[in-house]
Amino acid sequence: MNSMMEILSADFLLRNSLYVSVAIGLICPIIGVYIILRRMVFLGIALPQISSFGIALVLSIHIWFGHANPTHYGEQNIMIYAGAIGLSLIAIIWLAFSEKQNQIYSESRLGAVYAIGLAASILILAKCPVAEQGWMNLLKGEIISVSNADLWLTIFGLGIVVFCFWRFNREFTLVSFDREMAITLKKNVLLWDLLLFLLIGATIAIAVLVVGPLVAFGFIIIPPLISRGLVKSMRGFIFFSSLIGGVCAFLGFMLAYKYDLPVGALDITLLGVILILTFLFKDIFKLFVKLRKN
Amino acid sequence: MNTNTLVSLKNVAVGYNSNVILDGIDLEIRQGDFIALLGPNGCGKTTLLKTIAGILKPISGEINYYDVENLIGYVPQRETLNPAFLLTGYEVVLMGTYGRVKAGRPLPQKEKEFAIKCLRLIDSEQLANKPFFELSGGQRQRILIARALATRPRLLLLDEPTSGIDSPTSQSIMETLQTLNIEQGLSILLITHDINVIKNYAKDILIIYNNKVHRTVMKDITTPEKIATLLNISID
């Protein structure tokens, strides 16, 4: 209880970290719902890796171009944002178009993107230990300090994503559920797909910048998996996924602060425990119903 | 184009990625038509239906549509829909109204009421709040027909609406379609393998064989045996 009061107080030193971590916890599951519904889970793995490659590229740019002032993590955030978001968006547009051309190899393509993104990140950071350390912290999901500028940039970016999902939820559901119906209704399916993918790409890039690829992927996939079995409507699915993500991000942060543990890893472990408990509870409930029937 | 012609195809070739499946198709679909599209598996029935619906582009030739805002209501095969979506019957029907509402605008009350009216039209109001993917095949088919009706179409295209459905349900669906055809003048083009559907409901027949589409009327195909011979299938 003391820890909770402490992290909720106005002068808490890491309050910006808490705010962005909860914001990521609330928003990532919303795009996760669409990633799961459209069966693009591999995209959820590959894109964070591409984003982190974008970050690695920006962090190490001085090595390759002989720049006098190294761009280390936290020093030139706009460039890092541009690198992560730019590469994510290019990757998602390329993946979207190549999926349209050839769906058979789409999973293999995403697997290849994941492996190449990770390998390339390690390689380009090999000559810059400081940047490598910053990137490794990101990979582990260490959320240490977030500046006011970073906080507002994150909130602004995620705010646009939430607004678009709230405003165009109907169109996204239609093109995802029944593409052919959308065409007969003269909807521009390609445009809506592109907007959906851009929102997914932007959210992942922002999340990776704040919490790293592992935690971003965890928040995208696990909360929708938990809530999928508990709800009966699309609204409930989106709402509960977001709620679970937000609550776990807060609890994870609080426990990590109290016990001095890495926040990201704790968040995902917490989500994992809830996921296992949900499956167990469902199985026990089914067994109970079966026994009652007999 | 005749005044009561809804869709006309002139020397159309259909297929995927420039691979022609059917060609030289000349066809007119008129107001009040009730056409059954027959042919062996893999002959291009669905491809033709999707091309008429505008989902696929014709490889060559010309398709002309009667100039109305909502001409075609499309009912796909049930299995093509993604079962991961947690939608109720009503929410699925509501999708039929989306074409009339601008993106990002709230759905007007009159469209919500119209969706309920469409459910009522096919005697499925009781399915409105039930999860779509927990419904039986026949119930789901009714919901999809209601969704197509919610687009306010002049022509309904249905891809195997009675496949995998028990005989009484299948008959009931066909009777609903017949009523819509007779009472509301709704034109219907459906793909089917069901001899009873062809025999009891269709006024005209489109048969695909030797990669060509042939139009005939029911009186020219008086027995199921003749249909079976044309399609090169056996009947019990």
The model's pLDDT over A227-265, given as tens digits with 9 standing for 90+, comes to 988 888 899 999 999 999 999 999 999 998 888 888 888
Question: Given CB atoms, is B132 within the 8 Å cutoff of chain A?
Answer: no
Of A135-149, B43-57, B109-123, which gets the smallest average pLDDT? A135-149
Q: How far apart are CA A178 and CA A167, in angstroms?
A: 19
- The amino acid that residue B73 corresponds to is G
Supply the ipTM of this predicted assembly: 0.86
Question: Given CB atoms, is A231 within the 8 Å cutoff of chain B?
Answer: yes
Question: Given CB atoms, is B68 within the 8 Å cutoff of chain A?
Answer: no
- For A177-194, the pLDDT digits (tens) are 998 999 999 899 989 988
- Between B227 and B175, where is the model more confident? B175
Task: Locate all alpha helices (DSSP H) within B81-223, ordered by sequence.
Answer: 89-94, 109-121, 137-149, 167-184, 195-200
Q: Do B103 and A181 count as a contact with CB atoms less than 8 A apart?
A: no
Question: Given CB atoms, is A185 within the 8 Å cutoff of chain B?
Answer: yes
The pLDDT of residue A10: 75
Crossing angle of helices A41-59 and A77-101, rounded to 10°: 140
The pLDDT of residue B48: 92
Q: Domains plus CATH for chain A?
A: 2-293 (1.10.3470.10)
Q: How far apart are CA B90 and CA B78, in angstroms?
A: 16
Across residues B128-138, what is the average pLDDT?
90
Give the pTM: 0.82
Q: How far apart are CA A215 and CA A218, in angstroms?
A: 5
Q: Do B55 and A174 count as a contact with CB atoms less than 8 A apart?
A: no
Segment holding A130, helix H or strand E: helix A129-140
B19-30 β-sheet, strand order: B19-30, B5-16, B60-65
The pLDDT of residue B143: 92
Across residues B206-230, what is the average pLDDT?
71
Among B86, B93, B94, B155, most A C-beta atoms within 10 A, so best to mutate, is B86
Which of B54, B82, B107 shows the shortest C-beta gap to A37? Answer: B82
Q: How far apart are CA A133 and CA A130, in angstroms?
A: 5
The pLDDT of residue B224: 65
Query: Is the pLDDT confidence value at B78 over 80?
Result: no
Residue with tokens 């459209």: A38
The pLDDT of residue A211: 82
A194 interaction partners in chain B (CB closer than 8 Å): none
Partners of residue B14 on adjacent β-strands: B22
Phi, psi (5° rounding) for residue A198? -65, -40
Question: Does residue A104 sit in helix, strand or coil?
Answer: coil
Q: How far apart are CA A245 and CA A26, in angstroms?
A: 5
Partners of residue A159 on adjacent β-strands: none
Query: Is the pLDDT confidence value at B135 over 80?
Result: yes
Phi, psi (5° rounding) for residue B22? -130, 140
Query: Is the pLDDT confidence value at B183 over 90?
Result: no
Could you say which residues from 38 to 57 on chain A have a Cβ atom under 8 Å away from some Cβ of chain B? 38-39
* Extended beta strands in chain A, E state: none
B56 interaction partners in chain A (CB closer than 8 Å): none
Q: Which class for B132: exposed (0-12), middle (13-18), buried (19 or more C-beta within 10 A)?
A: buried
Nearest-Å Rg of the Cα atoms of chain A is: 20
Across residues B114-134, what is the average pLDDT?
90
Residue numbers of chain A with a pLDDT score lower than 50: 68, 70-74
Residue of B nearest to A185 (CA): B99
Q: Do A39 and B103 count as a contact with CB atoms less than 8 A apart?
A: no
CB A196 within 8 A of CB A175: yes
The pLDDT of residue B83: 84
- Between B170 and B158, where is the model more confident? B158
